[in-house]
Every structure is written in structure tokens, then in C-alpha cells.
Amino acid sequence: MSFSVGSLVLARGREWVVLPESSDKILRLKPLGGTDIEIASILTQIEKVEPAEFEPPDPAKAGDARSARLLRDAVRLGFRSSAGPFRSLGSIAVEPRPYQLVPLLMALRQNPVRLLIADDVGIGKTVESALVAKELLARGEAEQLCVLCPPHLAEQWQVELVTKFNMEAVLVLPSTVARLESQCTPGESVFERFPVTIVSLDYIKQERRRDDFLRGCPNLIIVDEAHTCTQSGQSSQLRYQLLKQLSAKPDRNIILVTATPHSGNEQSFRSLLSLLRPEFADLPEELSGDQNRTHREKLATHFVQRRRGDVSKHFIEDTPFPARLDSEVQYKLHPEFRELLDKALVYAKGVITDSSGTKFQQRIRWWSALAMLRSISSSPAAAAATLRARAATADEETLPDIEDLGRKSLMDLNEAETAEGFDVSPGADSEAAETPGKRTLNELAKLADKLRGEKDHKLQTLSKLLKELLKEGKSPIVFCKYIATAEYLAEELRKTMGRSTEIACVTGQLPHDEREERVLALANFESRVLVCTDCLSEGINLQEVFDTVIHADLAWSPTRHEQREGRVDRFNQKSKTVKVVTLYGENNPVDGIVFQILLRKHKTIYSSLGISVPVPVNSEKVLEAIFEALLMRGEKDLQPSLFSGVEFEEQKALNVQWDRAAEREKRNRAIFAQNAIKVEEVAAELEEVRQALGSPLELERFVRESIKLSGGKIEDRPVFELDLAEAPRALRDAVDIAKPVKATFQMPAPRGTHLLSRTSRLVEGISTYVLDSALSGEESAIARRCGVTATNAVSEMTTLLVLRFRFQIISSKHEMLAEDAVIIGFKGMPSEPTWLKPEEAEPLLAAPSTGNLAPEMVRHLLTQVINDKDALRKPLRELAEMRAEKVLASHRRVRKAFDGTIVAREVKVQGEPDILGLYILMPFGGSR
């Protein structure tokens, strides 16, 4: 006997639904009301499979209004394959905002998917890209996923995927690959073995690993920080070559993610675009004007780039982005600190004017001198540590290496191949140990030691600033460049801030897990300060705990400042305002150069245009030229001409180039903000999904009621203990909990705490137990399939039906089985129903009881309606066909390709609608 997709069958003592992957000989079956984990294959020649019919509710097992709501919620929370156009939303824990669906809509109109998501920092690019990937996997258009990212972001991706998208991912890093390979069969790749992998770009780009990756790489990849994968620089070139080979496979889906797609280098930007389509490498630099309309339209099908203003202006749903308040705070160096800096300048000048040695040695001395000046500007602790150290670059082998390392590290251009790469203290002159310079450096270090505390005016100004901010109720983060500075500031601030304020320090010396634990632990203190290095400028979101950023050390790249601020100034920030304070020494020439040339210019552009524009690529060379002037000629000669544009032509050219880039960026963002996608469509699709799946508040209500009614214990607190010791054994087995656990409904969940989202095993187990016990008619079931409520919410007998439909969705690519649940209602008897409007039925399910009915009356009413249910067969079938047409229209609207091709072809109703629940409302004590 052959069975159609979606039909009910009886096998192994339970009812199943036939899935599309079935054949005449092998049936792929999912238990009725079960989960994807329970899907099984049955060989029909060996095991008996019979047609089944969904049984109507039993009048003898009636419940009340609350048990009806529990059944409805259990059905919604159990859905994983909804009939709506977004198949994956039932299996994710995060509720996307309407604007976050725009990249998904773009992706569903492509084949294959090639997207560049370049939204501003804090809008939610991780959610947007993972949402696209989850949808492709749910539709069967991709079987596996690989995320390529910098190594310091790998753990964050792993946490995001499992907590928000219900995807267990393994990390492919130098420290994990041997263990993962031990689980593979001979000849099997790690990337073939594990469905979801997160791979370090810098690990996999090497030639000896690249070939294995290219052979086993899935047809769906996300590339985070994609701007580091262009044709610029040796390291970046290797990444680009890897992605170029991956993109050469025509059916591979590629999602590129970056907040800074354009670094100021047109060639690099075009190389990034060529990963989407090879012809994009030859796009004109200027895309505005009628003559470039075709180019814009083609690129716009692959490229989305929005600032916060785009999101707030074009999407009707409120988006909680905070307002940013920028300020600058100056301090004046203590005379003795200024004396130290002057002596260091004299020493540095002597070092870089020393013509002895090879060119390689001379460049080491140059970068070491610059590093020394920067560390002295940071803090006495960093100054002392650097002045006593040997150069970290002393063991480099080639001149290009030392130039590349020095420029990236000192100018904050490093791509952070390790988290520690953000904040290690650089060494001093590499020859100091063997030359008289060692004595000078040690003397300078002793001077630095004496400047701790009261003579450190940066520390004193920072302490005063923090007290003011804490008095306002703010929770600040203090960013530093060096480990020594962060530890010193934290130690000194503990002395001045008092015991009422908790101060924590986080640097790259801490393992990633401990960093998170230390940050989350601060949330328990009302008055808190976090002092950290740039190891926290990427890879962890801090908006839940902090609302203020202080740049205690100036980054020598505006992008790094933006990354710091983006940890706090982002979507879901609890505070309505985020304060950003830039601290700098007004009589410190090192701070002055960086602040005036780079940071203030960057802020000016951001304030006037509302967009962040990357510094043109030659900015570090301009800084080098001006620092060289500082060291070669001295500050007195430098200051009068520093900003005149006469002597420093490099600076003047930089400003002109930067202004042009800003104008171009402004035009491009207007073009690629995807405002043509109708807001109403996005909001309507999302609202339909929300209605089908339920809200977070409904989820929490369902879980709390289910636990309490089942005999379990659950505390009414944000983080609570969940104890199921007294609950039925079937519930404990369903959730797989043997002892009390800590749990919460709020993200992010503290370490060791279960997050109760719709995709968590706990919630899935509870909803499965509630639904299964109701369908099987168990006496202990807390949800019941039928009931009668006396209420004054109706004026005549009204029946509500909780229906489940099954649809076969046929597209040009494959077939899918989907479920849909609705609540409908009618007045009178089934033989002569007066149907309620759809929006009238749902609220009645929560109608309060205003009286009691005798059990005999309840059983009689239910028996009457259930015995007459065959009269509903035709109208319910017609309703199912109408729902199928609506589902088809929705799929076609969403999946209409950019070339006009329609992907969704047909939606078929499978079997008769299941009457999951039947509830009668009887008028009592008055009318509506």
C-alpha cells in the first residue's frame, strides 16, 4: 500500500505523518505531535503500516478554559515546520525585527544566494545572516553550514547559533581539529562529518589545509568580517584566494558580512564584490546617474547596506536604538609626566637618527621608538613595562615582515589573529640590552614608576569622570590599549572609587569563558565599572550590562573606536542614551596628532552625514610622516604647522580623499538601503508568523502554568530554580532533567543557566509532554481536547475549534510538508453554523469562566456537537483549501525571484483537518 505525503499512518503502536522523502518501500515518518529528533524510517516489507484516522475528542475527558489555552500553546510551541513563507522561524529563539527580514527576502529571491550584508554596527548582522542560513537549511536548499570568521569571534558565533538558532556547531581551530578528526571515518573530512562548523579563516587559509576544506566545504557559507578577505596585503590576499575558489562553485550559497565593506581602497572593494558575481570586479567607481542604473540594479539584488536612520525611517515597528551622546574630556600632563615624555622624545630621536646597522635594524628602532611613545601616553604602568622590555619584533626575519607587523600593531590595523593580539604591550628598543641606551631606558622607567597615583592626571580625571557618571546611574566601560594600563587603572580606581562600586578588569590574558563570566558577574552590582583592553572591542556584546564607553587610550584607528562603541551602542540597549567620552591629554603631542588628524575628522563626518566612513588607506602613512616630523624636528617646530596644510601635504590630501569617500558612501547607502522592499509586506509576514507561533510572553505563561499544574516548582524570579521532582515521570523524561536546575526566560542566560526559549530542550519537552498527554487522553493530562465554559463573553452557544492542517508545498526545487494551526468558531450547532470572523474566535479562547456547569450538562453538550461533526467536514475542507491558496500566495510573494521566476508552484491540502480541540462557550448571567 502506498501512502501520500502528509497522510496519517499507524505503526509501532503510534500514529505518524508521512514525510516527502518517502518512497513505496521506505517511509520517512514523523510522530504525530512529535519532534524532528523522533523522525524514523520504516521498511514497509518488514514492518506493518496501516492508514490511521485522527480521533475526535472524548466528551468524558473534558477540561476547563485554562486547559484549552494550554493545548493551543503546546500546539504552537511544538510547530517546527510552519506553512508560512518563512519555514525556519518556528525553530529559532530570537524574534527578528521587520528590518532584519530584508536580507532574508533578498536571499529567497536568489538561486544561489550571494549576499553582502553591510549594515551599521549594532543593527544585527549576525542575526540577519544566520536567519538566511537557517531558512535555507530548513527548506532543504542547503544541507550543511560553515561559518568562516576571525578566530577571536568563533566562540561568539557558536553561542549565537546554539542559543538563538538551535544549531549545534563545532569549532574548527588549531586547538580542536585533532579531536574532531578523530571522530571522522577514513577519508572523511571534518566539514563532511559535522553539519555546522565554525572555522578560523586564518587557520584554514593555509595551503596545507585549504585543499581539504575546498573538497569538503558545504554549499552554504557565512563569511564574517568579510572586509579582511580582499586583495590587499599578504594575509588578506590568502583569504581572498580561498573565497575566490569557494565562490567559483556556481551552486554555492555565500553570505558576506561586514560593517565596513569599503576600506577606502576601490580595488579591495571591487574584489569583495566579485565574490558575489565575477563581473562586479569591473563596476565603475561612481554608481550614481542614469547611465549606471543597470549596474546599480544588479548590485542592489546582492548588496544591502543600511544605517540606523534607514531602519528607523522606513520600518513602522519601533526599533530600540539608543541616542549617542559624544563628549571630549581633556587633562593636562603633570610637569613630571611631561618631563618624562620630553626625555623619551629626545631618546627616540637619537634612536631613529642612528644610521648604524642594517635597514632592517633601523626600521625595528623606528617602530620600537613609536611604540615607546604610545605606551608612555597610555599610563605610567605601560610606560615602565615597555621601557624595561626588549622589542617584541626582534626575532622577525625580513624587512616586509617588520613593516607589516609594526604598522598594523601600532596603527591599530591588526586583524587580531588572536584575542591577545589586541592588547600585548610592545617592547622597547631591540638593542637596548647591549647598548648604553639600556641605562637611559631604565632611568626613564624609574621616572615612570614615580608617576603612579596623584601625579597621573589622566587617572585623576578618569576617577572624577567615573564618579559623575555613576552618580547619574550610568554603567561605564573604560577601554585601554595595553594590559598593563588596564590592570593599573583597575587597581588605582578601586582605591579611589570606594567599596560601593564594583570594578572588574578584563584583558586578553583571560580565557574567553572567564572574560564573559567576569562581565556577567558585574551585572549583579548596581554601581559597576569595567576596565578592559581591546580584547572586548569585538566578539562580545555588552549592551545588556553597560551604557557608557570611555576611551581612556586613543585608538590610532577610528574603526577601533567604532568597534568599542558598537559593543554598547547597539540594538536592544536598555538605556535610551549611550554616552561616549574621549579622554586625551591637551599638552600631549602624541594624543594631539591622533586626535586632530583622525578622530575629530571621523566624528565630524559621522555627525554631519549620520554614517561612518572608513579612513582612506594611506592614513597610517600620514601619521607616520607627522610622527617622524615630531621626532626629527621636535614638537616646537611641529605645532605651528601641524594643521596648516602647508607643510604637511599628506594630511591635506588625506582630508580631500576622505571627504570624497564620505560623499560616495552617502550616495551608495541611499542606493543600497533596500527601501524599495515594502515595509507593509515585511511587517505583515512577520505578524502572521508571530500569530502562528506565539509571543515570548505567551511562552513564559505556558511554561509556568504547565510546571505548576504538573506538580513541579518554579520560582517567580528572572533567574530561578526549576524543580520537577514531584512532576510525572513522563514529564521528567521528556525534558531529561533529574535534579533541580537554574533557568531563565531572558537572554543572555548566565553561564550554567538554562535559557527557556521556544527552541530549548526544556520547552520543547514540556510542550511535547502537554500535547502528547492530551492527545492520548491520559487522566493526568493538564491540557484537554474539549471542554465547556459558562461565560458572559457570549450571548448564545458558541463552539471553538483548534484545527491543524497539513500541506504539501511543491516548488521548482523540491517538496515540503508543512503544518498550520488555526482557531475558528461558530454559533449554534454544526448542522447550521453561523461562522465567526477569524479575528473574533481567538480572543474567545481566553474568555473567563463566570459560573459552573454540572458534569452531566458538560458531557451532554460535548457529545451533541462531536456526534454532529461530520456536518463540518465540507466547510472545514473548504477552509483548508482557502488556507492553501493563502499559503501559496504568501510563498509566491516572498519567493518571486528578481528575474520574475516563481519558485512556489502548488500547495496541496493533505488529508482532513485534525480537530485537536473543541470547546463550547455557554452564555451565563447576561449577554456579551
3-state DSSP of 497-563: HCCCCEEEEECCCCCHHHHHHHHHHHCCCCCEEEEEEHHHCCCCCCCCCCCEEEECCCCCCHHHHHH
The three grid cell numbers given for residue 472, joined into one nine-digit string? 547619574
Instruction: Please give the order of strands across the beta sheet that includes 323-331.
Output: 323-331, 577-585, 548-551, 476-480, 528-533, 502-506
Rounded distance between C-alpha atoms, residue 116 and residue 101, angstroms: 14
Q: Which residues contact 598 (CB under 8 A, 6 or more apart)?
A: 556, 557, 558, 615, 619, 623
**Residue 415: per-residue pLDDT:** 46
Rounded distance between C-alpha atoms, residue 474 and residue 477, angstroms: 10
**Residue 418: per-residue pLDDT:** 37
Rounded distance between C-alpha atoms, residue 94 and residue 795, angstroms: 40
Alpha-helical (H) ranges within 536-633 are 558-566, 589-594, 600-609, 619-633
Q: Which residues contact 767 (CB under 8 A, 6 or more apart)?
A: 73, 74, 77, 78, 702
Alpha-helical (H) ranges within 776-854 are 838-844
**Which DSSP string do the residues of 864-911 spell out, in sequence order?**
HHHHTGGGGHHHHHHHHHHHHHHHHHHHHHHH--TTS---EEEEEE-S
Rounded distance between C-alpha atoms, residue 224 and residue 157, angstroms: 10
C-alpha distance across the termini of the chain, in Å? 52
Rounded distance between C-alpha atoms, residue 39 and residue 756, angstroms: 24
Q: What is the pTM of this model?
A: 0.74
Among 374, 383, 428, 344, CA closest to 585: 374
Q: Which residues contact 400 (CB under 8 A, 6 or more apart)?
A: none
> Is residue 776 helix, strand or coil?
coil
The three grid cell numbers given for residue 680, joined into one nine-digit string? 507593509
- The 10 Å CB-count burial string (b at 16+, else e) for 259-273 is bbbbbbbeebbbbbb
Rounded distance between C-alpha atoms, residue 516 and residue 514, angstroms: 5
Rounded distance between C-alpha atoms, residue 684 and residue 690, angstroms: 10
**Residue 864: per-residue pLDDT:** 93
Q: In this structure, which long-range contacts are made by residues 243-252, counting pairs with CB atoms below 8 Å and at least 24 apart in sequence?
A: 243/148, 243/275, 244/274, 244/275, 245/210, 245/214, 246/214, 246/217, 246/221, 247/114, 247/275, 247/276, 249/219, 250/112, 251/112, 251/219, 252/112, 252/217, 252/219, 252/220, 252/221
Q: What is the pLDDT of residues 801-856, one digit of tens each?
A: 999 888 888 876 677 788 888 899 999 999 999 999 988 998 898 888 888 889 99
DSSP 8-state secondary structure symbol assigned to residue 391: P
**Residue 411: per-residue pLDDT:** 59
> Is residue 115 helix, strand or coil?
strand
**Residue 645: per-residue pLDDT:** 38
Contact 715, 130 (CB under 8 A): no
> Is residue 84 helix, strand or coil?
coil
**Residue 813: per-residue pLDDT:** 66
**Residue 430: per-residue pLDDT:** 38
Among 239, 240, 253, CA closest to 103: 253
Instruction: Please give the order of strands across the beta sheet that includes 114-117.
Output: 170-172, 196-200, 145-149, 220-224, 253-257, 114-117, 303-304
Rounded distance between C-alpha atoms, residue 183 and residue 124, angstroms: 34
CB atoms within 10 A of CB 608: 10
CB atoms within 10 A of CB 422: 26
DSSP 8-state secondary structure symbol assigned to residue 851: B
Q: What are phi and psi of 447, to 5 degrees?
A: -60, -40
Rounded distance between C-alpha atoms, residue 784 and residue 773, angstroms: 9
Cell 565575477 belongs to which residue?
A: 278
Rounded distance between C-alpha atoms, residue 289 and residue 704, angstroms: 59
> Is residue 328 helix, strand or coil?
strand
CA distances from 807 to 568, 886, 887, 910 (A): 44, 12, 9, 5
**Residue 429: per-residue pLDDT:** 37
**Residue 625: per-residue pLDDT:** 63
Alpha-helical (H) ranges within 379-475 are 380-387, 399-410, 437-449, 457-471
> Is residue 104 helix, strand or coil?
helix
**Residue 312: per-residue pLDDT:** 62
- Residue stretches of the chain with pLDDT short of 50: 316, 390-402, 415-421, 426-436, 635, 637-647, 926-928
Containing H/E element for 714?
strand 713-714
HSE value, Cβ hemisphere, 13 Å, CA-based, for 352 = 23
**Residue 521: per-residue pLDDT:** 87
**Residue 789: per-residue pLDDT:** 92
What is the SS3 string spanning 333-382? Answer: CCHHHHHHHHHHHHHHHHHHCCCCCCHHHHHHHHHHHHHHHHHHHHCHHH
HSE value, Cβ hemisphere, 13 Å, CA-based, for 434 = 3
739 class by beta-carbon count within 10 Å (0-12 exposed, 13-18 middle, 19+ buried): exposed
Q: What is the pLDDT of residues 589-620, one digit of tens each?
A: 788 777 776 666 666 656 655 555 555 555 55
Contact 521, 553 (CB under 8 A): no
Q: Which residues pair with 221 in a beta bridge?
A: 146, 254
Rounded distance between C-alpha atoms, residue 113 and residue 677, angstroms: 18
